[in-house]
Structure formats: C-alpha cells, structure tokens
Amino acid sequence: MDFWLGIPVLNVLATLRSKRRWPLSEIKRVGVMCSPALGDTLLFSGAVQDLRAHFDGTGEGVELVHFCMKQNLAAAELIPGIDRRVIVDLKNLGETVRRLRSEQLDVLLDFSSWQRLTAFYSMMSGARFTAGFRTAGQYRGRGYDFTVEHGDNRHEVENFRALLRGLGIEAGAAPRVVVSAAATPMAAEKDVVVFHLWASGTRSWLREWPEERWILLAQRLAGPETLFAITGAPSDLERMQPFVKRMEVAGLRAVPFIGTDGFVSLSHLLRRARAVVSVNTGVMHLAAILGAVTVSINGPNRNGRWGPVGPRAIGVEAPGEGCGYLHLGFDFDGQATDCMDRITVDMVVAAVAEAEECDKLLGVDVQETY
C-alpha cells in the first residue's frame, strides 16, 4: 500500500502546495524522524549530535523532538541531544497527523529513505519547513520543501550528513549513544564473546550465516574460560535454545541472552565482551558505536553502504562478484542468494584477530569506553 497507493496520493497532494524557503527565522521547535529500523536509528544518532551542536550555537533555545515508533524506541532512548520523544504509530494516519500538528513545528526533517508514508506525514505536519530525501525509484521527494539525493554510493551516515549540509548545517559527528547505569550481565565471567546470529526484516535468512560455521568459529575463538553469549530478540528464542544445546554438545560454554530493559543490559554486555561477532543488524551497529571489538558478517550488505561504524569495528564482505548489493534493505530480487555462504570461518577468525590487534594498538580499556 505504501508503494501502490502512497505514490499517487503523495504526488497529487504535492502539486497542491507551494515550497517554502530555508533558512527560517525564529526557529523554536525542530522535529526529526527516521526509519523505524534499529540500525538506521542508531546511525541517525550522529545527525542528532550535529543538529544539537548547530542549534545550541545559535543561542535560540531550539527544542529537538524525535518522532519515533515502538519498533525503534529502545534505540531512540539511547540517543543524547533529544529534548522529547513522541511515539507515533505510522499505520494510524489520523492520530499521527494530529500528533505532528499539535507540536506546532517550525521545521521537520525526515531522515527516512524510501517510505512514502513518512514523506506524507512531513507534508501534513503543519511544519513551516520540511526537508527529506529524494530516492531513485521511490517517488517520494516532491512533497518536501527541500530535498537532497539519497545515494547508494555512500554510507547511510553520509546520506544523513548530506541532508544537513544541504541546509548549511555543519555535519560530521560520529553516531553516539549514552547508556544508563545498570548491572553488567555475566560480570563474574573472565572471558565473554558475544554472537548475534539472526537478522530481521525482509528475507532475513539471506543475511544469516550457517549455524555450523558459528560453532566452528566458536571452537577457534574459545579459550579455557570463554563463555559465548548468544543474543537475540524474544522472537529468536525458539532458535536460540537449540543452538545453545549444539554449542554445548560441541564442548563449548554458551548461554542465551535476551535483554528485558530495552538495550541497556545488552549494551553493558556488548561493552564488556572480548569480541562481538554479528550478522549485519541493529545489534552489530550498537556494538560498533559503543566501541566494542566488533566483527560484522555482511554478505548482501557492503561495508561502504551499511558496514559497522566504530573505532574497533571491522566488516567481512563476501568474495566474488554480485554481493554487497543491498541499498534500501529489501532489494533482493535478481541478486545472488549465496553471499553469506561465501564467507568462510577463516575469514571471520582473521577479522576478529585484526580487530583485537587494533584494540591492543589503541590501548583502550573496554571499561573506559562507558
């Protein structure tokens, strides 16, 4: 419906409105939106830091309001620089438009890349000025007052920065999260390695690595006291428990871990781990941003487009032609389906060793990255 109904409705409405110009005078309230995907939300945190610095520099006391969804609230709550969060349900058109208009926004910046629905909400928000992306093949850009091209040739962080720079806002801050104090899970363990096996979203199985290779990887990484924490969402529990049993049969110590407090406990676990190995998903981005030693197994993803962003993060890409093709996250049609199979255990072991060596060269204590 977003595609077949959203495109004509959005573009008809766009012909009925005139575009406003930037910059505005007397900006008091700025709204921001991004994709409800967890990884996108975490990467968007860098743009928030740039906005905060810009408006704090003007001395006008601008309030930043993040319109987020239940799906990405756990990630949104970690982002500093936001004054208020307003939860909206994208599927509830009337209520979402009402909430947006009630905020009396001066500016609304939409950092989502393909959804016609968020472009529609931007147009209906009542904001004095709106800005967002024009994305090839998505037909969503006409309703904004200002657009920049959303590119498939640069990292998503750079797309976010391009939108701000187009408005004359200096952009370059790294993604950043702040985690509240909590007891560190598995604090008594001397050596913890985190594995995150499962992806989410469209055709998620095409971004997952064979389970038998995870076990081989664990055998290569294990020391006498290593405990493997297998992380996942509650919906992954049915797969987590059998996998943990397979690890135990292979002579490895392993436990499942599902956070019950959003991302707080998970963040503390990721920070204290010797290494985090994950498929390309939100947990991987969280680990990298937190400064954990992070290795991402990419396959259909490309480092230059969706790779981990962090001081001790490395992405492993599939060799050969035809992989690293994902741009918007659902563009699998006609593409290679064996990308994850091409990534060997040796490749991931080498990446972990490289990341750990970089960690030693940096001389940073994991406990100091809080």
pLDDT digits 0-9 by tens, 118-140: 999 999 999 999 999 999 999 99
The two tokens of residue 222 are: 């294990």
Other C-beta atoms within 10 Å of 184: how many? 17
Q: Residue 255: phi, psi to the nearest 5?
A: -140, 145
Per-residue model confidence (pLDDT) at position 24: 86
Domain ranges of the chain: 6-166, 191-369
Nearest to 130 by CA among 16, 2, 22, 11: 22
Give how far Cα 277 sits from Cα of 117, 187, 227, 292, 323, Å: 34, 19, 14, 10, 20
Per-residue model confidence (pLDDT) at position 183: 85
Q: How far apart are CA 41 and CA 78, in angstroms?
A: 10
Nearest to 297 by CA among 234, 211, 191, 366: 211
Q: Are both 6-166 and 191-369 of the same fold?
A: yes
User: What is the mean pLDDT of the segment spanning 170-174?
Assistant: 97
pLDDT digits 0-9 by tens, 178-215: 999 888 899 999 999 999 999 988 899 999 999 999 99
Domain covering 6-166, topology = Rossmann fold (3.40.50)
Other C-beta atoms within 10 Å of 170: how many? 12
pTM, whole model, 2 decimals? 0.94
Residue 362 scores a pLDDT above 60:
no
Amino acid at site 114: W
Q: How far apart are CA 36 and CA 305, in angstroms?
A: 18
Per-residue model confidence (pLDDT) at position 36: 94
Residue 370: which pLDDT band, with cuts at 50, 70 and 90? very low
β-pair partners for 278: 196, 296
Q: How far apart are CA 175 and CA 79, in angstroms?
A: 9
Q: Residue 224: phi, psi to the nearest 5?
A: -60, -30
pLDDT digits 0-9 by tens, 340-351: 999 999 999 999
In a 3-state reduction of DSSP, which class is residue 164? helix
Residue 312 scores a pLDDT above 60:
yes
Give how far Cα 251 sits from Cα of 195, 215, 221, 227, Å: 16, 10, 13, 11
In a 3-state reduction of DSSP, which class is residue 265? helix
DSSP line for 77-120: TT-TT-SEEEE--TT-HHHHHHHHHHT--SEEEE--SS-HHHHH
Other C-beta atoms within 10 Å of 14: how many? 17
Q: Which long-range contacts (CB under 8 A, 24 or more apart) does 366-369 make?
A: 366/271, 366/272, 366/273, 366/291, 366/292, 366/293, 367/271, 367/272, 369/271, 369/290, 369/291, 369/292
Superfamily of domain 191-369: Glycogen Phosphorylase B; (3.40.50.2000)
